[in-house]
């Protein structure tokens, strides 16, 4: 079986970053898997030629959710394998924290079954994949730093973000028991 490498980008777009934590929500997408289950995840997609990972994250969030956002920080990368159409795919997905800029939820993308604003406090129970739940934890840490008035680019913040992102990459590099991923 032929092995191919793919790289994608996506993110967690959050509305209400300037307000109380209990009013902050993230736009998630729901996709129906081969068994008919609705699985909630972060929007993501292939990096197009000439596009940066950050540009891809903003484009894919907009295409899959109808929501426009701007990148605030990296959340880390997820690395996984799946088999499709007679080939084994090694996929790396770069994820970013995005600030809501506008738009309305829309599930018009053919790859998306549903879209929803989900309170940040519910991401742990809603996200289908453990590696994405860990990214949501990283996002929560970054949001806490922002609300405490600390820059996301100061040295301490970079070290904390790098360490948290490395935990995600390391954990995602091993089997997480999430089951097979699908293309995206």
DSSP states of the chain = -EEEEEEEEEEEEEE-TTS-GGG-EEEEEEEE-TTS-EEEE--EEEPPTT--HHHHHHHHHHHHHSEEEEEEEEEEEEEEEEEETTEEEEEEEEEEEEEEEEE-----STT-SEEEEEEGGGHHHHBS-HHHHHHHHHHHHHHHHHHTT--TTSHHHHHHHHHHHHHHHHHHHS--S-------
On the question of pLDDT at 118 being above 50, the answer is: yes
On the question of pLDDT at 153 being above 70, the answer is: no
Model pTM score: 0.82
Domains of the chain with bracketed CATH: 2-173 (3.90.79.10)
Average pLDDT, the chain: 86
Average pLDDT over residues 136-150: 90
Strands 25-32 and 38-41, by their bridges, are antiparallel
pLDDT grade for 160, boundaries at 50, 70 and 90: very low
pLDDT grade for 119, boundaries at 50, 70 and 90: very high
Q: What is the model's pLDDT at position 139?
A: 97
The string of pLDDT tens digits covering residues 17-48 is 999 989 999 999 999 999 999 999 999 999 99
The string of pLDDT tens digits covering residues 34-92 is 999 999 999 999 999 999 999 999 999 999 999 999 999 999 999 999 999 999 999 99
């Amino acid at each position: 079986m032929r092995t191919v490498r793919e790289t994608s980008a996506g993110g967690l777009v959050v509305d209400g970053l300037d307000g109380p934590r209990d009013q902050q929500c993230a736009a998630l997408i729901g996709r129906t898997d081969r068994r008919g289950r609705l699985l909630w995840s972060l929007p993501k997609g292939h990096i197009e030629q000439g596009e940066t990972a950050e540009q891809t994250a903003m484009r894919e969030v907009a295409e899959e959710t109808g929501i426009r956002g701007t990148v605030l920080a990296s959340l880390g990368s997820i690395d996984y394998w799946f088999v499709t159409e007679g080939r084994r795919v090694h996929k790396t997905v770069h994820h970013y924290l995005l600030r809501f800029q506008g738009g309305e939820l829309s599930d018009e993308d053919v790859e998306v079954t549903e879209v929803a604003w989900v309170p940040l406090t519910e991401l742990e129970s809603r996200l289908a994949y453990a590696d994405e739940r860990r990214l949501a934890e990283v996002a929560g840490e970054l949001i806490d730093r922002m609300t405490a008035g600390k820059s996301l680019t100061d040295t301490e913040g970079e070290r904390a973000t790098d360490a948290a992102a490395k935990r995600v990459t390391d954990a995602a590099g091993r089997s997480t028991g999430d089951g097979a991923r699908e293309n995206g």
